[in-house]
Structure 1
Amino acid sequence: MNIHWTQGNTIQLLENGEEFYPAVQEAVAQAREEILLETFILAEDKVGIALKDALVQAAARGVRITLTVDDYGSPAFSESFLAELRAVGITLLVFDPRPRAFGMRTNLFRRMHRKLIVIDRTVGFIGGLNFCADHLGDYGPEAKQDYAVRVTGPIVGDMHMALRQTLAPARKRFRWPRRAAPLAAGAPISQTGGVSMALVLRDNDRHRTDIERSYRMAIRLARREIIIANAYFLPGYRLLRDLAKAARRGVHVQLILQGQPDMPWVRATSMVLYDYLIKAGVEIHEYCQRPLHGKVAIVDDEWATVGSSNLDPLSLSLNLEANVMIRDRAFNRELRSNLTGLMHNHCQLARPSGTPVLRYWRLGLGWLMFHFLRRFPAWAGWLPAHKPSLLPGHRRVDGAQTLTDESEQGAV
């Protein structure tokens, strides 16, 4: 694993849609040349429509825009929604479109789960928020708790390169509209601040374990404190072992996990690991105010991460993910203050199993889970090793995105 650290960046923490969406809207409104945007979910609700309107306005003044969505996360748009994008030359691409079987989506595995935005190669956004209304507080009890960051400086060049690498194979295979984003790397980006950052990706080629290994390296080097807030916590057994070892050597290890998950199986599967971690001295705080969707962590005063990767088998072994690693004391203090506030005000401390029967049941299930996690990456390799494609998403037939001929697919 070779992580490329860049110096001289600035970073701004954005909590939930109330901070993230206005920041993106402002940056889009100021765009002059190019917008590249990847998201797992783009919903045709008030958030998605507001983004679409802002992109249409930018394209109308000459900005080149490429918008990439995942076919599983964003399975369909109305014809009117697509027509507005098409009218101003916005390139809409769909990652790995697959036909439905008996009305059900068939492309669950190997998803494009990243959330990346680069505007004019000067400002970037990365985090866990999709473009949908359930990231706003007024959505109700099911509104998600999540984080992203706005960045400037040389790290934006790495983010731009990552987006270009996704687009490059597809560009060779089908005809792009006049305003398609160029693939030129551009000049080096000047330093804008004092933050050290690294973009770490997970793919199914050369970077299969980079994010997990970055977490494990930070955990192994921890001396005082680890705080991890993660929506779907079912990591590999090596990462679990590293957390337990850190707690046993005196590191204050705190996990913020879902107490009211948006998917009921999440808490049930995570709980089988509770006794093992609590016995080692790990504190587990269940966030109960709303569904937790964040994917952030801090270690001591020096290291933090924000991104799209959950600590579960899908994110760590199958999906395309993107996290940024951060070395900056001021950012660590801000994120630590936020997470500590969650623990103190909106979490309940998990306790060990109360009865011997329940403890032994969890012990047996935990043993099976550990062996499952140990072998899952190898098993994942047995899944169909198709090469996911990026296809144009403007044409529709019978209400589904049919995109282009099979001969025009471009591997990503």
Structure 2
Amino acid sequence: MVIEHWLNIAVVILLVLNTLGAIVTVFRDKTRDITTVWAWMQVLLLFPVFGFAFYFFFGRKLSDKRIFDIRTQRVMGIDRIAKKQKQEMKRLEDNEYREEQTFVRLFLNNEQAIFTNENDVEIFTDGHEKFARLFTDIENATHHINIEYYTIYDDQIGNELVDLLTKKAQEGVRVRVIFDAWGSGGRHNKMYQRLRDAGGQVEAFLMARWQMFSLRVNNHDHRKLVIIDGNIGYIGGFNVGDQYLGRKPKFGHWRDTHLRVEGDAVLAMQSCFFMDWNATTVTEKLQFSEDYFPDTTVAGGVAMQIVSSGPESDAKQIYQGYLHMLAIAQESITIQSPYFIPNQAIMDVLSVAARSGVKVRIMIPGMPDHAFVYRATQYYAHQMVKAGAEVYTYDNGFLHAKTLVIDDKVVSVGSANMDIRSFALNFEVNAFMYSRDVARQMNDIFAEDLKHATKLTRQYFSEQSLWLRFKQMFSRLLAPIL
């Protein structure tokens, strides 16, 4: 009886300390969204002790020093390319871009994202075609190759990329690689050693010397950028790994969207890379020069802004861009995203659009790659069907594209999913394009994808089991931290 008495006291003390610890841990960060705060409170209170271990990996944010370093680099990069923006801003007075001025002002005010209107854009939806084109451009590089990916796996395509970069480094081309250690499944020092030996530089994004203290699921480098000689840029959804070429039976065909860009927009991609490189490396900082920001002359006429966002900024630039696109759409909204876990504002504006006669079409994967995320995506898909939107599952492999098109004239393609993690937690970068030609190409791609898709209906969801619906609703409760 004495032992039982003291065990009861110990349990009570543990629960009290757990509750106090949960309150202090979650509420001390005044920048968190209130829905995220309460989601974490549920986790920490429902799973005493173990919830804190979960929070250690999923809930911690970057230190104030890291955020300051990134903000400093952002300002440095923008200052050096401001004159290019002044030249382009004069063209906004033309009627051709009158409708897009609200976007331009939004991104300029939030991030000073430069507007460029002379870009050539090539769209890729197949990994084999994308990497073939990328490898050709790398082979032809003469001055520098700057690469930034969330995922670079130590597999066949990963090693082919490192081999090619090693060859270029041996030729005297400056090669720099940033990768996210979490997204890449480790540092892969053995794979990169030959590139380092050839003079190439490789950095794990914001990775501390003591790796254990950097193990967080949040605040990772989800960007996918390649800049070659300052005049060719790649941006989109493809990472580097065999699965992105359909070589993994689990996923089958990998359906993604990526852009190859030539023109002044590449300078903005370069600035983003410089910011991330200088905030990450402790050795050689990059200096802004004409070698990295050359004058470009391209016949293409695609107007665009390269918009980056991350936890170092409270503006949530890409999220605000998405929200603005959805809010002003008058005819159509077309979304493709592997993870559809929007916040309430996005849900509200999509629901209003659908009920107002705007044609809202959303395509999500027909298979999961993360269980909770997939069930939450199903929950929100159901809500959109009830609101009158057309929702489809892509059945020909895994859909990983992150695209948004409105009214056949404004397009966003990049790394940011339609979910809370991309809105506020990870480092993302998207191309916002103001081009009817690009919008037409994207709509044609969506039409082709519909041939391999299933339309979800009210009946489809009503026939789901109670257990499946419970899993969807439970996953939805964790949406702010997924």
User: TM-score range, shorter-chain basis?
Assistant: 0.7 to 0.9
Structure 2 distance, partners of 1:43, 1:120, is 25
Distance 1:363 1:293, change over 3 A: closer
TM-score by length of 2: 0.70
How much does 1:308 deviate? 0.5
> Alignment length, in residue pairs?
366
TM-score by length of 1: 0.82
Q: 2:136 aligns with which of 26, 31, 46?
A: 26
d(CA) in 2 for partners of 1:364, 1:91: 44
Shift in Å, 1:5: 2.1
Give the secondary-structure state (helix, strand or coil) at the position aligned to 1:2. helix
What is residue 167 of structure 1 aligned with on the other side? 277
Pair 275,260 (structure 1): closer, same or farther in 2 beyond 3 Å: closer
2:454 match: 348
Q: Deviations over 1:217-251 (max 9, x none)?
A: 11112121111000111011101111111111111
1:38 matched to 2:144? The reply is: no
Deviation at 1:16, TM superposition (A): 2.5
Match of 1:109 in 2: 218
Decide which of 183, 189, 192 is 2:296's aligned counterpart: 189
Q: Note the residue ranges of structure 2 that are not aligned, 5 or more in a row.
A: 1-105, 109-113
Deviations 1:348-405 (A, max 9, x none): 111223269959x679939x948x76xx4xx89xxxxxxxxxxxxxxxxxxxxxxxxx
Cα 1:234–1:356 change in 2 (3 A) is closer
**Residue of structure 2 in register with 1:56 after alignment:** 166
Taking structure 1 as reference, are residues 13 and 355 closer, same or farther at Cα in structure 2, changes over 3 Å only?
closer
How much does 1:141 deviate? Answer: 4.8
The amino acid that maps onto 1:194 is G
Q: Secondary structure at the match of 2:117?
A: strand
CA distance in 1, matches of 2:255, 2:360: 21
Aligned-partner Cα distance in 1 for 2:279–2:441: 39
Q: Does structure 2 retain, via aligned residues, the 8 Å contact 1:168–1:183? A: no
Q: Is the 8 A contact 1:71 1:96 kept in 2?
A: no
Q: Which of these two proteins has the greater Rg computed from alpha carbons? A: 2
Q: Are residue 133 (structure 1) and residue 133 (structure 2) matched?
A: no
CA distance in 2, matches of 1:259, 1:50: 30
Shift, 1:346, TM fit: 1.2
* 1:11-410 correspondence runs (5 A): 11-76=121-186, 80-97=190-207, 106-143=215-252, 144-170=254-280, 174-176=282-284, 182-184=287-289, 186-206=293-313, 208-343=315-450, 345-352=451-458, 353-354=461-462, 365=473, 369=476, 376=480
> What whole-Å deviation, never above 9, does each CA across 1:126-172 have from its counterpart, x for those lacking one?
0111100001134335142111000010100111111112223445x
Seq. identity, %: 25
Please report how far the alpha carbon of residue 77 of structure 1 lies from its aligned counterpart in structure 2 after TM superposition: 5.1
Does the CA contact (< 8 Å) of 1:295 and 1:309 recur in 2? yes
2-structure distance, mates of 1:165, 1:200 = 13
In 2, the alpha carbon distance for the partners of 1:77 and 1:356 equals 42
- SS of the residue corresponding to residue 272 of structure 1 reads helix
3-state SS in 1 of match to 2:311: coil
1:307 deviates by: 0.6
Structure 1, gaps ≥5 residues long: 381-412
> What is the alpha-carbon distance in structure 2 between the residues aligned to residue 182 and residue 118 of structure 1?
16
Report the CA distance between 1:198 and its aligned residue. Answer: 0.8
Letter in 2 for 1:270: T
> Aligned partners of 2:155 and 2:471: how far apart in 1?
44
Q: How has the CA–CA distance of structure 1 residues 356 and 167 changed in structure 2, closer, same or farther, with 3 Å as cutoff?
A: closer
Distance 1:41 1:349, change over 3 A: same
Q: Deviations along 1:176-228, whole A, 9 cap, x unmatched?
A: 3xxx8654263443343100011111111236411111111111121211110
Which structure is higher in helix share?
Answer: 2
- Decide whether the 8 Å contact of 2:205 with 2:280 is kept in 1: no
**Alpha-carbon separation, structure 2, partners of 1:191 and 1:205:** 33
Could you tell me how far apart the structure 2 residues matched to 1:357 and 1:256 are? 23
Q: Distance in 1 between matches of 2:403 and 2:195?
A: 33
Query: Could you say what the CA RMSD is over the residues aligned between the two structures, in angstroms?
Result: 2.7
Q: Distance in 2 between matches of 1:6 and 1:67?
A: 26
Instruction: Provide Cα deviations, 1:4-41, integer angstroms capped at 9, x if missing partner.
Output: 32111010001131111111101100100011110011
- Confirm or deny: 8 A CA contact 1:272 1:362 kept in the other structure: no
Output the CA distance in 1 between the equivalents of 2:465 and 2:256: 36
Contact 2:404 2:413 in 1 (8 A): yes
User: Residue 231 of structure 1: SS of its match in structure 2?
Assistant: coil
Whose strand fraction is larger, Structure 1's or Structure 2's?
A: 1
For residues 301-338 of structure 1, the C-alpha deviation after alignment (integer angstroms, 9 at most, x for no partner) is 10111111111221111000001011112211111111
